[in-house]
Structure 1
Amino acid sequence: MSAPPPSAVRTRRTVRITIVLLFAAWLVDYADRLVINLVLPSIGEEFDLGRGQQGLVVSAFFLAYALCQIPGGLLADRYGAQRVTCWALLSWSVFTALTGFAWSFVVLLVLRFAFGAAEGIFPPASMKVLVERTTPEERMGANGLIMSSNALAAVITPLAVAPLIAAFGWRSAFFSTAALGVFVLVAVRMWLPAPLAGSADRETAAVRNGLRPMLREGVLWRFALMLFGYSTIMWGLTTWIPSYLNDERGIPLASAGALVAIPALASALATVVGGRLVDRLGGHHRKIVVPAMTVAAIALPLMSYSASLTGFVVFATVAACAASLAYMPIFAVPLRGLDSRHIGVGSAVIVLGGQIGGMVAPPVMGVLADVFSFQVAFAFLVLGAVIVAVTSLVTPQDADSFRAALRAAHHHSDPSSLTTEQK
């Protein structure tokens, strides 16, 4: 049996190193976000904040994060994905460290907003880094491995940070995660491979000319709406489960962190499985999304009104696992169908929907918990599952139909482009 050609060996090496580095970057990115959920009870006590105000601390991040998605895509398309990724890592690490020095509610809001802006340019740049260094056939499997870092961070962060908070106070958690960000920045800067041959961007004029049609296409916003529903569920759970266990069940923060790790681990595994499944299906995300979100919609009310702690954790795990199965399928068709020149902006539009979900869910749930109960707040998340399932039925199911939908929408809004494209 002959050895693989050197080009194939280089390609596999490029893919492996890219996956490892992006996995590490996303792990720190998500851990930095999750720290705030673990310290909310301490911050609320120190600054005398109600649950609605605590939810605003989380939302300040997501507001800036959402606003910077499309600018981040533009920066990545124009200045290069690796460069923008490094900018993001450096700036969010700085603002994470500064959060540890916050002395008032207003200062905390400002720092969380700045932190969100810094992290907001990262997702489209990261997506472009991956697309430039993988082939279409392996892209979703690779992205599934990378994005499983989010759920793994939800496992590791409470286990590592809760004891740190108990020993040194809530501010120490931000200093520690900022140091990790600097370490990953150095690794990405030194070891990220060059893009694969043939993946280089075309002139920036093409990017500028393609921006307006890209933002105008309703098909992209439908995928964004799916991610909005998904993020409503996941950020609603990750934001308020630690506080619920601490306030309502009387469980110490360190023990609550260990319990939160159970559904988070299930989510990590489900994210990888979802990426593998949608690769085998060649898209066709509704075959995964509809059954998964049906299970989540059933599990969430059972979790909300479970009388026992065991029942709460079991149903929370089922809900998180089912929702996470749908995460990679939401991205599968757009990443296969988008032109490489527009992958930064296109993916940013979709991620924007997810960040709006993360911005809306925490304060809404905080108000519901204050006015009614945590049970009502968690039951509210069923709405997210319904949005994802219904929207999956009205989105293109493979790359060809996705591209056809983009062309049809573009020709409808600009009939003169039809002749140009035909030529």
Structure 2
Amino acid sequence: MSNTGKWALWALMIGTAGLATAAPRMALAVMLPEIREQLELSLFQTGLIWGADVLTGVVSSVLGGTLSDRYGARTSLVVACIGTGFFGMARGLVPEFGWLLACSFLTGPFINLIPLNLHKAGAQFFPRRQLSISNAGVSVGMASGFMLGAITAATYLSPWLGSWRLVLALFGSLGILFGCVWLFIPKRTGVDRVAEHAAGHNFTAGLQHVAKLWDIRLMTLANFGYGACVNSMLGYVPLFLRNVGWAGPRADLAVSLFHVASLVATLPFSVWSDRSGHRRSFMLAGSISLSLATFAIPLVANQSVFAVMVVAGLMRDAFMSIMITRLMESEGVGPAYAGSAMGLSMVGMQLGGAVAPAAGNALAALGPGRPFQFWSLLALSAAALFWLVGDRRGPEDSAS
């Protein structure tokens, strides 16, 4: 592939991550107070809605990673983007809680496959020495989409369009659009190259292979705590701040600052990790800073919340980029097994992100700060597990 074509695909990866994945997820988070009021949901039911698509992503990540290794990233992205858009739009048509929960569950198998396959696509047409840059592009797209969803969905789009339902329909249509764009990416780019390489493998061979790797096991467990904390905290902060008297736009600004900090820091931290080779140090820093900031949110007052949210978000997407790069650098993985390795590792993150919101929200009955303390401990447990993962730099091979 030409150098121009490689960076054009990189730009498409950024757009897909931001507008088909991150923006609709964060839009749902900041519109939860409006949805909760209109559908008369309890705090526990609100937590279930926020975690539902992540829960179904637990199963889809394992199967989707294996399917991606077998059929290729491009084909998987077409299906994932269109499925995300369709069921995302359907959430805006629901009459009550049960239907909203069902549509959120059905969105999960698709929306959670998009980042996985974007990272795999990058591994297929970027050389190893640029792998962090490739993964950072996906993280930049995610951070941009989270910021866009947080700033615009509840404060601007919902009043302008007249309903949270139409906001979900708008973002759903963007998912379908990106699916159609990936459909027309020619196979000669190499984005489906691994599909041919793995076509003769048993369906579960890749999964069985990566499940035996010690690094993958450790990172799967660590990702449970990290994913539980970051997903739960981001879903709860808008509700928490409104409940303590913050105006809606001000509460949304706090969440937006999390993603602004993440967006600004992603590329510098990713390049720094490439040059130093110390992936573990960055994973530790990301987990510990998230834990401390989450614990501090209910303890600080007024403007200090903004500073704490910046600290919490500073390494969020850089962490994802570096963690996935370290995953691909694990002995026995490489491009051929990247989908299976990411799928299995993401199971931990998605399982944590699915069960922890409702579990933490239930603790709010004991005090408004209890959920933050619970999620902070989970992030700290992730740091302890990442400590056991060593640094490893693979050979400087090239993607052809």
The TM-score, its normalising length taken from structure 2, stands at 0.90
Kindly indicate whether the alpha-carbon contact (under 8 Å) linking 2:123 and 2:131 is maintained by their aligned counterparts in 1: yes
Does the Cα contact within 8 Å between 1:141 and 1:275 map onto a contact in 2?
A: yes
Equivalent residue number for residue 76 of structure 2? 84
8 A contact 2:140–2:317 mirrored in 1:
no
Higher relative contact order (CA 8 A, sep 6+): 2
Shift of 1:79: 1.7
Determine the C-alpha separation between the residues in 1 that align with 2:192 and 2:138.
Answer: 23
Map of 1:396 onto structure 2: 390
What secondary structure is seen at the aligned counterpart in 2 of 1:304?
coil
1:185, CA displacement in angstroms?
2.2
* Equivalent pair of 1:134/1:196 in contact (CA under 8 Å): no
- Picking from 49, 58, 66, the partner of 2:41 is 49
Q: Distance in 2 between matches of 1:84 and 1:183?
A: 15
Deviations 1:221-255 (A, max 9, x none): 21122322222232122201111222222312x34
Looking at structure 2, the residues matched to 48 and 18 of structure 1 have their Cα atoms a distance apart, in angstroms, of 43
**How far apart are the structure 2 equivalents of 1:102 and 1:298?**
38
Residue matched to 1:221: 217
Q: Which of 197, 210, 229 is the matching residue for 1:233?
A: 229
Instruction: Report the Cα distance in structure 1 between the residues aligned to 2:289 and 2:121, rounded to whole angstroms.
Output: 34
Please point out which of 345, 350, 367 is paired with 2:345. 350
Mapped to 2, the partners of 1:297 and 1:326 lie a distance apart of 13
User: Structure 2 CA distance, aligned partners of 1:348 and 1:247?
Assistant: 37
Q: Which residue of 1 aligns with 2:266?
A: 271
Say whether 1:98 aligns with 2:94. no
What amino acid is the match of 1:340?
Answer: P
Q: 2:114 aligns with which of 115, 118, 122?
A: 122
Would the aligned equivalents of 1:19 and 1:142 in 2 still touch at CA under 8 Å? yes
**CA–CA distance in structure 1, aligned partners of residues 376 and 296 of structure 2:** 11
- 8 Å CA contact 1:21, 1:192 repeated in 2: no
**2:239 is aligned with what amino acid?**
S
CA distance in 1, matches of 2:191, 2:316: 36
Percent identity over the alignment is: 20
2:281 is equivalent to residue 287 of structure 1 = yes
RMSD: 2.3
Is 1:372 the equivalent of 2:363? no
Question: Aligned equivalents of 2:127 and 2:17: distance in 1?
Answer: 21
Give the counterpart of 1:314 among 304, 307, 317: 307
The aligned counterpart of 1:16 is 7
Letter in 2 for 1:202: H
Q: CA deviation at 1:103?
A: 0.7
Corresponding position: 1:301 with 2:292: no
* Partner in structure 2 of residue 417 of structure 1: none
Confirm whether residue 250 of structure 1 aligns to residue 246 of structure 2.
yes
| Residues 297, 133 of structure 1: alpha-carbon distance in 2 compared, 3 angstrom cutoff | same
Deviation at 1:277, TM superposition (A): 2.0
Letter in 2 for 1:43: I
Give the SS at the match of 2:245: coil
How do residues 16-35 of structure 1 correspond to structure 2 at under 5 angstroms? 16-28=7-19, 29-35=21-27
Tell me how far 1:75 sits from its aligned partner.
1.5
Deviation, 1:324, is: 4.4
1:170 aligns with 2:161: no
CA contact 2:25–2:146 (8 Å) conserved in 1: no
Change (3 A) 1:94 1:197: closer
Matches within 5 A, 1:379-390: 379-390=373-384
Determine if the alignment matches structure 1 residue 362 to structure 2 residue 387.
no
> How big is each residue's C-alpha offset from its partner over 1:349-406, in whole Å with a ceiling of 9 and x where there is no partner?
112111112112211221122x1233221222221331222111212310469xxxxx
* Cα gap change, 1:299 to 1:197, in 2 (>3 Å): closer
- Equivalent position SS for 2:184: helix
- Structure 2 residue aligned with 1:113: 105
Match of 2:146 among 154, 157, 169: 154
2:48 counterpart letter in structure 1: L
Amino acid in structure 2 at the alignment position of 1:214: V
TM-score normalized by the length of structure 1: 0.85
Q: What runs of 5+ residues in structure 2 fail to find an aligned partner?
A: 396-400
Q: Would the alpha carbon gap of residues 203 and 50 (structure 1) be closer, same or farther in structure 2, given more than 3 Å must change?
A: closer
Cα 1:193–1:387 change in 2 (3 A) is farther
One-letter amino acid of the structure 1 residue matched with residue 270 of structure 2: G
Amino acid at match of 1:105: F
Shift in Å at residue 339 of structure 1? 3.0
Change (3 A) 1:229 1:269: farther
Alignment of 1:59 onto 2:54: no
User: What amino acid does structure 2 have at the position aligned with 1:90?
Assistant: I
**Partners in 2 of 1:181 and 1:340 — Cα distance?**
26
Q: What is the deviation of 1:82?
A: 0.3
CA distance, structure 2, for counterparts of residue 192 and residue 229 of structure 1 = 39
